[in-house]
Amino acid sequence: MTSNLTLSMSLIFIGFLIFFILEKFLLWHHGHEGEVHDEQSDLGHEHGTKHIGYLNIVSDGLHNLIDGLVIGGSYFVSTEVGIATTIAVVLHEIPQEIGDFGLLLHVGFSRAQALLANFFSALVAFLGLFIAILLGTGGGNIIVYILPLAAGGFLYIAGSDLVPELHKTSDVHKSVIQLLAIMLGFALMGLLLLIE
């Protein structure tokens, strides 16, 4: 039992670090991109920044692969965990995909190119789902490793991106709504535990 807990905690930590490193790399890349763009402004906007779009497509594809693995793997734990994971992934994907679309437009992709890139990047989730099903039915319990890694990633995203974003508003009405939404989220998780 203790060794399982130690393994899970270690994997959560590793997942947290992976997302930290990935975001650091992207932020570093964006920071240097601004310098390159300033130096090469005479070469045109698209030449200076379009590679950020390609980097975003690759990282989003990797993210979607992990989402597919997590969704597929969570159903091997239980139907309730699977449903909760699917809902969580879908809810966080909607604003992310809108943001990705906006980023691709900003760096020089046409609307059609941006939609197509987002579509193919999203399809990678089905590859992750397929891999999770193959590994889950093949006797390999990869899910024990995938879920804590994903949990670490989600903890990182919540702590580094979502909570600081929530603190940007000082409006009392909006703050109360945020608090109620957080409490509702915890209540739904508790309800899923009771149903299980």
Ramachandran angles phi, psi of 163, nearest 5°: -65, -45
Across all residues in the chain, what is the average pLDDT?
Answer: 77
The pTM of this model reads 0.55
pLDDT given for residue 47 in this prediction: 47
- Distance, in Å, from the CA atom of 19 to the CA atom of 22, rounded to the nearest integer, reads 5
DSSP letter at 114? H
Position 82 pLDDT exceeds 80? yes
Domain ranges of the chain: 2-153
What pLDDT, in 10s, does the model give residues 7-19?
Answer: 888 998 998 888 7
pLDDT given for residue 79 in this prediction: 85
- Which candidate, 8, 18, 16, 5, places its Cα nearest to that of 145? 8
DSSP letter at 157? H
Ramachandran angles phi, psi of 167, nearest 5°: -75, -5
pLDDT given for residue 43 in this prediction: 36
What pLDDT, in 10s, does the model give residues 92-109?
Answer: 788 778 888 888 888 889
How open is the CA angle 58-126-77, to the nearest 5 degrees? 115
